[in-house]
């Protein structure tokens, strides 16, 4: 491998000569180790997912493995970078202690009885992955300070532990009841306000209903605190889609305030944009979908579009909702 050049062990005169600075084989290896570590962490991060039916606990533990390996390689790279070259040193017990403490902490983090607590706190869980990186780095760095071999050995054993957690002690043959309970209790993804929906709303609807959804009493009806009532009425969901597609004309009364004006149709919005805007308005400002309702979808907008109602006919629809 690094057979050819054997720079004189002494480093004096490092700057002499006009040659461009070159990385020594030692520094190159250090850099490569750091880059591989970076790669491991990025890959693990991109695949980050909390346990879910389509992301098994085993896979998740394997991600921990990548975080640990990445962190471990960083620890070694850092130790090498600080040392700049191999040098004999007196092993110091304190470093060994630090190096052993980290794997034990990692062990606790992956202990099955900690799952329920961690699972209930997604932010904590996500942050813990950074702790894995730090623990991996600490283990190898401290081990390396003790002696090089110990650094590599401890890093390796940490990786083996994470691997074992993925296949053995971290997962039980039967689904872990604690985890299953969490997964079962987790509600189906709630319809949420999408960024696209807010864009459409703010560009178009907000001109009248205001960005706060509060409307303008007597002129433009509020959607904040009101849209959920429409959706809760039987037929309300279909009505709302048709208001946006066909407009609305006729007297309506909301919370004792009468509105008798015209909302123009918004045919020019795509099916998806219409659905997005409605999803946004139904989830913004404290609004919520009625229990069990799904988010609006492009398909139902497309179906309603075919009906081409007049804005007065939409007003008739409203009369059938049985609103107060
Ligand atoms: C040009 C002003 C204007 C714009 C823009 C507008 N609306 Fe309206 N909207 C109104 C008016 C006025 C009414 C009430 C019409 C009436 O009095 O009959 C209304 C009514 C509604 C209603 C029915 C309220 C009820 O109680 O029946 C909904 C839902 C609604 N708008 C949603 C939207 C959405 C979503 C957008 C954006 C895609 C939008 N509006 C854009 C003026 C507007």
Query: Residue 123's domain spans which residues?
Result: 25-185
Domain's final residue, options 167, 185, 203: 185
Is there a single domain that holds both residue 210 and residue 254?
yes
CA dihedral 167, 171, 174, 177 (to 10 degrees): -170
Q: Per residue in 113-156, pLDDT tens?
A: 667 777 777 788 778 888 888 989 998 998 888 888 888 998 89
Residue 162 pLDDT > 60, yes or no?
yes
Q: Is residue 9 part of a domain?
A: no
Which residue carries 């597609």 as its tokens? 245
Please count the structural domains in the chain. Answer: 2
For ligand 1, atom 10, name the residue with the nearest CA.
Answer: 263
CA–CA separation, 197 and 281 (whole Å) = 8
Distance in Å, CA 269 to ligand 1 centroid? 14
Q: Are residues 296 and 178 in the same domain?
A: no
State the Cα–Cα distance between residues 92 and 87, nearest whole angstrom. 14
The alpha-carbon radius of gyration of the chain (Å, integer) is 31
Q: Give yes or no for residue 193 having a pLDDT over 60.
A: no
Buried b (16+ CB within 10 A) or exposed e, 154-171: bbeebbebbbebbeeebb
Question: How much distance in Å is there from the Cα of 249 to the middle of ligand 1?
Answer: 9
209 C-alpha to center of ligand 1: Å? Answer: 7
Of all atoms in ligand 1, which is nearest to the CA of residue 226?
Answer: 26
Tokens (6 digits) for 181 = 């309970």
In this structure, the residue with its CA closest to atom 6 of ligand 1 is: 205
The two counts, helices (H) then strands (E), for the chain are 14, 4
Query: Do residues 78 and 137 make contact, with C-beta atoms less than 8 angstroms apart?
Result: yes
Nearest CA to ligand 1 atom 40: 205
147 and 205 co-located in one domain: no
Give the domain-ending residue among 185, 220, 237: 185
Check if the beta carbon of residue 223 is closer than 8 Å to that of residue 215: yes
Q: Is 314 a domain residue? A: yes
Residue 292 lies in a domain: yes
Residues 306 and 275 in one domain: yes
- pTM listed for this prediction: 0.50
What is d(CA 137, CA 210) in angstroms, rounded to the nearest whole number? 52
Element (H, E) at 232: helix 227-232
pLDDT on residue 190: 46
- If asked whether residues 162 and 272 sit together in one domain, one would say no
**Closest to 294 in 3D by CA, of 192, 183, 184:** 192
Q: Are residues 52 and 176 both part of a single domain?
A: yes
Are 235 and 306 in the same domain?
yes
Cα of 13 vs centre of ligand 1, distance in Å, is 79
Please check whether residue 242 lies inside any domain of the structure.
Answer: yes
What's the pLDDT at 183?
A: 59
Are 174 and 85 part of one and the same domain?
yes
**Whether residue 138 is found in the same domain as residue 258:** no
Q: Which residues line ligand 1 (CB under 6 A)?
A: 204-205, 207-209, 220-221, 223, 227, 230, 240, 243-244, 248-250, 252, 254, 259-264, 266, 277-278, 281, 318
Lowest mean pLDDT across 78-92, 213-227, 271-285, 303-317: 78-92
**Is residue 287 assigned to a domain?**
yes
């Amino acid at each position: 491998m690094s057979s050819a050049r054997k720079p004189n062990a002494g480093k004096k005169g490092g700057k002499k000569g006009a040659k461009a600075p070159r990385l020594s084989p030692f520094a190159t290896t250090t850099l490569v180790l750091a880059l591989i570590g970076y790669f491991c962490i990025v890959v693990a991060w991109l695949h980050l997912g909390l346990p879910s039916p389509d992301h098994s606990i085993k896979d998740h533990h394997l991600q921990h493995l990548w975080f640990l390996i990445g962190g471990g390689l960083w620890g070694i790279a850092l130790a090498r970078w600080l040392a700049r070259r191999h040098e004999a040193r007196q092993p110091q017990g304190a470093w060994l202690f630090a190096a052993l403490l980290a794997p034990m902490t990692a062990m606790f983090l992956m202990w099955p009885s900690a799952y329920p607590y961690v699972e209930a706190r997604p932010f904590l869980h996500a942050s813990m992955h950074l702790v894995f990186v730090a623990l991996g780095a600490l283990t190898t760095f401290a081990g390396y300070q003790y002696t090089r071999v110990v650094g590599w050995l401890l890093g390796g054993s940490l990786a083996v532990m994470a691997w074992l957690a993925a296949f053995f002690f971290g997962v039980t043959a039967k689904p872990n009841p604690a985890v299953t309970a969490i997964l079962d209790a987790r509600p189906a993804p709630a319809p949420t306000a999408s960024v696209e929906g807010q864009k459409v709303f703010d560009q178009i609807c907000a001109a009248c209903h205001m960005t706060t959804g509060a409307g303008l009493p007597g002129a433009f009806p509020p959607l904040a605190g009101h849209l959920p009532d429409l959706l809760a009425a039987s037929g309300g969901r279909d009505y709302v889609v048709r208001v946006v597609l066909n407009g609305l004309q006729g007297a309506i009364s909301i919370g004792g305030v009468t509105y008798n004006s015209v909302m123009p149709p918004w045919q020019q919005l795509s099916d998806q944009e219409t659905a997005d805007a409605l999803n946004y308005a139904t989830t913004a400002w404290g609004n919520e979908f009625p229990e069990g309702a799904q988010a609006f979808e492009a398909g139902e907008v497309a179906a309603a579009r075919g009906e081409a109602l007049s804005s007065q006919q939409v007003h008739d629809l409203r009369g059938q909702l049985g609103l107060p």
